[in-house]
Structure 1
Amino acid sequence: MTAAVRPPYRVGIVGCGAISRNHLEAFAALPEAVVVAVCDVDADRARSTAERWGIEHAYGSVEELLAAGVDVVSVCTPHPTHEAVVLASAAAGAHVLCEKPIATDLAAAERMVAACDAAGVRLGVLFQRRFWPAAQRLRAAVDDGTLGRPILGHASVLLHREPEYFSSAAWRGTWASDGGGVLMTQAIHYIDLLQWLMGEAVEVHGHIGTFRHAIEVEDSATAVLKFASGAMATLSASTAASPSLGISIRITGETGATAELSEFPEGTDGRVTIWARGGAIESEQVHPADVDPNVDLAAINGQLIPHHTAQVRDFVSALSANDGTGREPAITGSDATAALRILLAVYESSRTGSPVRLNQTATQEALA
């Protein structure tokens, strides 16, 4: 007897801003899912998005979208609104794929994870850079013993943003609407990579500052991290660099081997630019002279679509777990909470001047 073929998952996109294009493109590439509805607080924007993409329904509220009977909700709204959308989706029995950061405070993230667990639905959070082949190579080198247990790490995030980046969207650059600055919006991707490669972080000592941009939140930050394994790492991040120097993640393992992952210009595929082991060093130039270092946001998002697609494919595949044959998505709500916990600890440490044990991290409301 031939097994029944499941109809495609019905997907609703919440939020029709710039990043929604990545989600629309990613789901469109998968035969296992179809976007049947979009919604936005700007109903006209929802309608124009639906018309442009040939989507059947456009709504002005999450409640209307959920009432249409979607199986999956993809959350593309500003950071502090994620919790309300995720909780409503879980209550409606819909699986949720949420843009990073999962939330802007730890308590909200924990409520989101708990709500999805209680409802028996999957919660995934977008950290698409884990799906770079180069990032997978570094993780394999940790797992197979090539690097061995990481002992030292470094993440450098030196990016360029024009003043218009903040002035073009009223929610950017404020504690209330953005939840933070370079750490919350850009560096969280690389904080996630660092803790994915090095393990559970247990202590953070950091500082934040605002030097170049006329914003409430930080445009620069530094931190020292300690991990449960005893490993240590440093973090530096800024949107005040001109020109951008891109991103690098460097890991040294207990075997003595070192590997470095670089993203330059921002938005391009990460690549291994240092591979040093056994007395030999393989290296690749990080900053070619003929490459424009400063890339606008639309171009960055566009170049990330293949990796959004890889993560969306993984998430949809994981949904078959409801039939007893699947698994958790590659990046869960709990994984995303771990990255959030680290960056909130940087904020708290900067405020107090003291190291923060991560179980003592303050909620975002206390930082505004």
Structure 2
Amino acid sequence: MTNREIRFAIVGCGLMGERHAQILQATPGARVTCIFDQDLERARKVAGDLPVCKDYEEVLRREDVDAVVLALPSFLHVPYGIEAARHGKHVVTEKPIALDVDSGRNLIDTCRAAHVLCAVISQNRFADGNTALKRALVTGDFGKPVLVRGSVKWFRHDPYYTESDWRGRISGEGGGVLMNQATHTLDLLLWMFGYPNAVCGLTANTRPVLETEDVGVALFRFPGDIIGTFEATTSAYPGFAERVEVHGQQASCIVEKGEIIYWEHSAKLPKPNPPEFTPPTPNLEPRYVLFQRQYRNIIAAIQGEEELLVKPEEALAVVAVTRAIYENQAETIPRPLTLTEPG
């Protein structure tokens, strides 16, 4: 249709909002035209020379805004996204798309009815190791997986939660580590292996400052009888790199922090290669590269040149599975176990 410049408004000026502003300002085809945060002083610090809007309504009235980037507390993604769509603005939201399936579906349906895109930031899908493993699974080079594992063992100090008015709170996040910090790794499992046929889990809250879980595990049965496990915590000192492990009768692969650190194939096939991505813009910080890869796709999708690589329905599936973990706790089906010492 057109490759005109796409004009973005940054909504929310915490750490992620500032990051999105920097990435978009460095990305060809994008321009940040205004900034908004309810804390106007914080907005001014991020904005620099850019206009600062006094309220969200001003953002939505601006004719030089094609899309809003919602870098907001999780519970605000849906209401802010729906309002943007009703004003004809494309919606780019941080994860999770919603706190529950019904509200997330409402956002997707509203965007579709308004003929605007709904994109959810899922930058880990664009990491070299993850895309290479996905390619090996799709082509069949990997063979049949039988056992997969996702692992997120991070550490967050108490002030990470206590200095926020929404983190670690049911009303703010809709859950804890599974809904927030670990959601990208769960997204990778669903992207690679599909929507599970069965799920159960266990969660625990080990920290008094939280209303939500800081430890969670889940067991999945994916299509094709692939068994999966998922473990997540923000209480594993000092913190470890997130992992995806895939094992089968022909091959095994371990991806750590987006890079393949182990690959072994019975037929001696070489480690798979990722697709060729457009090189990052000069001087872009390495931690922003994956975001820019996704933004290039989002911009092209708004321009009508490409399909979105991360569909909002896929992001909603992650929420649905997370809710299923919460609702299908293994301990809700008591199974008495009697242990006796060996005679």
Amino acid paired to 2:213: E
**Alignment equivalent of 1:68, drawn from 53, 62, 65:** 62
Shift of 1:228: 3.0
CA shift in 2, pair 1:244/1:282, >3 Å? farther
Per-residue CA deviations over 1:281-311 (Å, capped at 9, x if unaligned) read 999xxxxxxxxxxxxxxxxxx7531111111
Per-residue CA deviations over 1:78-126 (Å, capped at 9, x if unaligned) read 0010001110111111111110011111111111111111111111101
- For the aligned residue pairs, the C-alpha RMSD in angstroms reads 2.2
Shift of 1:333: 1.0
Is the 2:2–2:303 Cα contact (8 Å) retained in structure 1?
Answer: no
1:271 alignment counterpart: 259
Give the 3-state SS of the residue equivalent to 1:19 in structure 2: helix
Give the 3-state SS of the residue equivalent to 1:115 in structure 2: helix
Is the 2:200–2:218 Cα contact (8 Å) retained in structure 1?
Answer: yes
**C-alpha distance in 1, partners of 2:79/2:2?**
33
Shift of 1:149: 4.1
**C-alpha distance in 1, partners of 2:55/2:225?**
47
**C-alpha distance in 2, partners of 1:41/1:121?**
25
**C-alpha distance in 2, partners of 1:148/1:179?**
37
Give the aligned length. 320
Shift of 1:10: 1.5
Give the 3-state SS of the residue equivalent to 1:304 in structure 2: helix
Equivalent positions of 1:1-368 (< 5 A) are: 6-50=3-47, 52=48, 54-55=49-50, 57-69=51-63, 70-212=65-207, 214-253=209-248, 256-263=250-257, 270-278=258-266, 304-321=287-304, 326-350=305-329, 353=332
Amino acid paired to 2:107: M
**C-alpha distance in 1, partners of 2:236/2:24?**
34
Shift of 1:213: 5.3
Is the 1:250–1:259 Cα contact (8 Å) retained in structure 2?
Answer: yes
Per-residue CA deviations over 1:142-192 (Å, capped at 9, x if unaligned) read 011111343321011111111111112121111011221111111101000
**C-alpha distance in 1, partners of 2:177/2:308?**
27
Structure 2 gaps, min length 5? 272-284, 335-343
CA shift in 2, pair 1:201/1:29, >3 Å? same
| Percent identity (aligned) | 30
Per-residue CA deviations over 1:191-221 (Å, capped at 9, x if unaligned) read 0001111112222100110124521100000
Is the 1:181–1:218 Cα contact (8 Å) retained in structure 2?
Answer: yes
Is the 2:153–2:235 Cα contact (8 Å) retained in structure 1?
Answer: yes
Shift of 1:352: 7.1
Amino acid paired to 1:341: A
**C-alpha distance in 2, partners of 1:109/1:354?**
29
Shift of 1:130: 0.7
**C-alpha distance in 2, partners of 1:317/1:354?**
48
Amino acid paired to 2:332: G
Q: Runs of at least 4 residues of structure 1 off by over 3 A? A: 4-7, 279-283
CA shift in 2, pair 1:140/1:94, >3 Å? same
Give the 3-state SS of the residue equivalent to 1:10 in structure 2: strand
TM-score, normalization: structure 1?
Answer: 0.82
CA shift in 2, pair 1:141/1:309, >3 Å? same
